[in-house]
Structure 1
Amino acid sequence: MYAVVKTGGKQYKVAAGEKIKVEQIAADVGQEVVLDQVLAVGAGADLKIGAPLVDGASVKAVVVAHGRHDKVRIFKMRRRKHYQKHGGHRQNFTELEIVGIAG
Protein backbone atom coordinates (compact mmCIF):
# COMPACT_ATOMS: atom_id res chain seq x y z
CA MET A 1 0.00 0.00 0.00
CA TYR A 2 1.26 3.46 -0.83
CA ALA A 3 0.06 7.04 -0.43
CA VAL A 4 0.83 10.49 -1.78
CA VAL A 5 1.07 13.04 1.04
CA LYS A 6 1.59 16.78 1.07
CA THR A 7 3.78 18.42 3.70
CA GLY A 8 5.92 21.53 3.61
CA GLY A 9 4.53 22.55 0.22
CA LYS A 10 5.85 19.39 -1.45
CA GLN A 11 4.32 16.03 -2.35
CA TYR A 12 5.85 12.66 -1.47
CA LYS A 13 4.95 9.11 -2.50
CA VAL A 14 5.38 6.95 0.61
CA ALA A 15 4.95 3.33 1.66
CA ALA A 16 5.21 1.63 5.06
CA GLY A 17 8.81 1.17 6.20
CA GLU A 18 10.30 3.91 4.00
CA LYS A 19 12.34 6.85 5.26
CA ILE A 20 11.83 10.31 3.75
CA LYS A 21 13.34 13.74 4.36
CA VAL A 22 10.73 16.50 4.57
CA GLU A 23 10.76 20.17 5.49
CA GLN A 24 11.44 20.69 9.19
CA ILE A 25 8.60 19.65 11.52
CA ALA A 26 8.41 20.87 15.12
CA ALA A 27 8.50 17.44 16.80
CA ASP A 28 10.98 15.63 19.02
CA VAL A 29 13.02 12.61 17.89
CA GLY A 30 11.01 9.44 18.52
CA GLN A 31 7.68 11.27 18.53
CA GLU A 32 4.90 9.99 16.29
CA VAL A 33 3.39 12.47 13.82
CA VAL A 34 0.27 12.14 11.69
CA LEU A 35 0.29 13.45 8.12
CA ASP A 36 -3.38 14.08 7.35
CA GLN A 37 -3.07 15.80 3.96
CA VAL A 38 -3.31 12.64 1.84
CA LEU A 39 -3.85 13.25 -1.88
CA ALA A 40 -4.05 9.62 -3.03
CA VAL A 41 -4.04 6.11 -1.57
CA GLY A 42 -3.28 3.01 -3.61
CA ALA A 43 -2.86 -0.72 -3.19
CA GLY A 44 -1.87 -2.57 -6.35
CA ALA A 45 -4.37 -1.76 -9.10
CA ASP A 46 -6.78 -0.10 -6.63
CA LEU A 47 -6.28 3.68 -6.44
CA LYS A 48 -8.30 6.23 -4.50
CA ILE A 49 -7.73 9.86 -5.52
CA GLY A 50 -8.99 12.76 -3.42
CA ALA A 51 -10.51 16.00 -4.60
CA PRO A 52 -8.17 17.46 -3.35
CA LEU A 53 -7.79 15.25 -0.21
CA VAL A 54 -8.90 11.68 0.50
CA ASP A 55 -11.54 11.68 3.28
CA GLY A 56 -10.48 9.85 6.44
CA ALA A 57 -7.01 8.94 5.15
CA SER A 58 -3.85 9.56 7.16
CA VAL A 59 -0.23 8.47 7.35
CA LYS A 60 1.53 7.79 10.65
CA ALA A 61 5.26 8.39 10.88
CA VAL A 62 7.97 8.48 13.55
CA VAL A 63 10.60 11.24 13.66
CA VAL A 64 14.01 9.59 13.19
CA ALA A 65 16.30 12.64 13.09
CA HIS A 66 16.66 16.34 12.39
CA GLY A 67 19.44 17.75 10.26
CA ARG A 68 20.58 20.09 7.52
CA HIS A 69 21.05 19.39 3.83
CA ASP A 70 24.30 20.04 1.99
CA LYS A 71 25.15 23.65 1.24
CA VAL A 72 23.84 25.13 -1.98
CA ARG A 73 26.40 27.56 -3.40
CA ILE A 74 25.11 30.85 -4.79
CA PHE A 75 27.32 32.92 -7.09
CA LYS A 76 26.21 36.14 -8.75
CA MET A 77 28.29 38.01 -11.27
CA ARG A 78 27.86 40.87 -13.70
CA ARG A 79 30.48 40.76 -16.40
CA ARG A 80 32.55 43.90 -17.00
CA LYS A 81 30.97 45.60 -13.95
CA HIS A 82 33.41 44.43 -11.25
CA TYR A 83 30.60 42.73 -9.35
CA GLN A 84 30.86 39.30 -7.77
CA LYS A 85 28.84 38.04 -4.84
CA HIS A 86 29.12 34.71 -3.02
CA GLY A 87 26.52 33.15 -0.76
CA GLY A 88 25.14 29.87 0.42
CA HIS A 89 22.14 28.21 1.98
CA ARG A 90 21.54 25.07 4.07
CA GLN A 91 17.95 23.90 4.42
CA ASN A 92 16.76 22.19 7.61
CA PHE A 93 15.00 18.83 7.31
CA THR A 94 13.24 16.21 9.40
CA GLU A 95 13.72 12.54 8.58
CA LEU A 96 10.56 10.46 8.99
CA GLU A 97 10.03 6.71 8.98
CA ILE A 98 6.58 5.74 7.74
CA VAL A 99 4.83 3.42 10.20
CA GLY A 100 1.41 2.91 8.63
CA ILE A 101 -1.15 4.16 6.14
CA ALA A 102 -4.84 4.37 7.04
CA GLY A 103 -7.57 5.00 4.52
Structure 2
Amino acid sequence: MISRISDIWLEELGKTTIPGIPNYITTIKRIPEFFNEENLLMCMILAFNFGELRGRECERDLIKRNASACFYNMRSYADAHNGELPNSQEDLKKWVHHHD
Protein backbone atom coordinates (compact mmCIF):
# COMPACT_ATOMS: atom_id res chain seq x y z
CA MET A 1 0.00 0.00 0.00
CA ILE A 2 1.38 3.42 -0.95
CA SER A 3 1.04 6.11 1.70
CA ARG A 4 0.95 9.81 1.07
CA ILE A 5 3.80 11.69 2.70
CA SER A 6 1.29 13.45 4.96
CA ASP A 7 0.15 10.05 6.27
CA ILE A 8 3.75 9.11 7.06
CA TRP A 9 4.36 12.43 8.83
CA LEU A 10 1.17 12.04 10.86
CA GLU A 11 2.22 8.54 11.88
CA GLU A 12 5.66 9.82 12.95
CA LEU A 13 4.03 12.72 14.80
CA GLY A 14 1.80 10.26 16.66
CA LYS A 15 4.88 8.38 17.90
CA THR A 16 6.60 11.57 19.10
CA THR A 17 6.17 12.88 22.63
CA ILE A 18 5.01 16.48 23.04
CA PRO A 19 8.42 17.66 24.30
CA GLY A 20 9.96 16.00 21.23
CA ILE A 21 7.98 18.26 18.88
CA PRO A 22 9.81 21.58 18.44
CA ASN A 23 7.71 24.65 19.24
CA TYR A 24 4.61 22.50 19.83
CA ILE A 25 2.90 24.79 22.33
CA THR A 26 3.80 27.95 20.37
CA THR A 27 2.40 26.47 17.18
CA ILE A 28 -0.82 25.31 18.83
CA LYS A 29 -1.33 28.80 20.31
CA ARG A 30 -0.81 30.48 16.91
CA ILE A 31 -3.28 28.31 14.96
CA PRO A 32 -6.43 30.25 16.02
CA GLU A 33 -4.73 33.54 15.12
CA PHE A 34 -3.62 32.23 11.72
CA PHE A 35 -7.08 30.94 10.73
CA ASN A 36 -8.94 33.77 12.50
CA GLU A 37 -11.00 31.13 14.31
CA GLU A 38 -11.26 30.60 18.08
CA ASN A 39 -12.53 26.99 17.94
CA LEU A 40 -9.35 24.91 18.11
CA LEU A 41 -11.04 21.84 16.61
CA MET A 42 -12.18 23.87 13.59
CA CYS A 43 -8.65 25.28 13.30
CA MET A 44 -7.16 21.80 13.25
CA ILE A 45 -9.65 20.69 10.59
CA LEU A 46 -8.77 23.73 8.48
CA ALA A 47 -5.05 23.12 8.98
CA PHE A 48 -5.23 19.45 7.96
CA ASN A 49 -7.45 20.25 4.94
CA PHE A 50 -4.99 22.95 3.88
CA GLY A 51 -2.08 20.53 4.30
CA GLU A 52 -3.86 17.83 2.32
CA LEU A 53 -4.62 20.24 -0.53
CA ARG A 54 -1.01 21.44 -0.64
CA GLY A 55 0.19 17.82 -0.67
CA ARG A 56 -2.06 16.98 -3.60
CA GLU A 57 -0.90 20.08 -5.48
CA CYS A 58 2.73 19.07 -4.93
CA GLU A 59 2.01 15.53 -6.14
CA ARG A 60 0.37 16.88 -9.32
CA ASP A 61 3.35 19.18 -9.93
CA LEU A 62 5.75 16.26 -9.44
CA ILE A 63 3.81 14.11 -11.90
CA LYS A 64 3.83 16.95 -14.47
CA ARG A 65 7.59 17.49 -14.07
CA ASN A 66 8.31 13.76 -14.33
CA ALA A 67 6.14 13.45 -17.44
CA SER A 68 7.85 16.44 -19.05
CA ALA A 69 11.30 15.09 -18.23
CA CYS A 70 10.38 11.65 -19.60
CA PHE A 71 9.05 13.17 -22.83
CA TYR A 72 12.15 15.35 -23.19
CA ASN A 73 14.47 12.37 -22.63
CA MET A 74 12.58 10.14 -25.07
CA ARG A 75 12.61 12.86 -27.73
CA SER A 76 16.31 13.54 -27.18
CA TYR A 77 17.12 9.83 -27.37
CA ALA A 78 15.17 9.50 -30.63
CA ASP A 79 16.92 12.55 -32.09
CA ALA A 80 20.31 11.06 -31.24
CA HIS A 81 19.42 7.60 -32.62
CA ASN A 82 17.82 8.41 -35.99
CA GLY A 83 14.27 8.29 -34.65
CA GLU A 84 14.69 4.97 -32.84
CA LEU A 85 13.32 4.65 -29.31
CA PRO A 86 15.14 2.77 -26.55
CA ASN A 87 14.44 -0.95 -26.24
CA SER A 88 14.09 -0.76 -22.48
CA GLN A 89 13.93 1.67 -19.61
CA GLU A 90 17.45 0.55 -18.70
CA ASP A 91 18.75 1.63 -22.13
CA LEU A 92 17.17 5.06 -21.68
CA LYS A 93 18.60 5.42 -18.15
CA LYS A 94 22.10 4.53 -19.34
CA TRP A 95 21.85 7.01 -22.20
CA VAL A 96 20.51 9.81 -19.95
CA HIS A 97 23.20 9.29 -17.30
CA HIS A 98 25.89 9.11 -19.97
CA HIS A 99 24.81 12.55 -21.24
CA ASP A 100 24.45 14.29 -17.83
TM-score band, normalised by shorter chain: under 0.3
User: Would you tell me which structure has more helix in proportion to its own residues?
Assistant: 2
When normalised by structure 1's length, the TM-score is: 0.19
When normalised by structure 2's length, the TM-score is: 0.20
Higher RCO (CA-CA < 8 Å; seq separation 6+): 1
User: Would you tell me which structure has more strand in proportion to its own residues?
Assistant: 1
Larger radius of gyration: 2
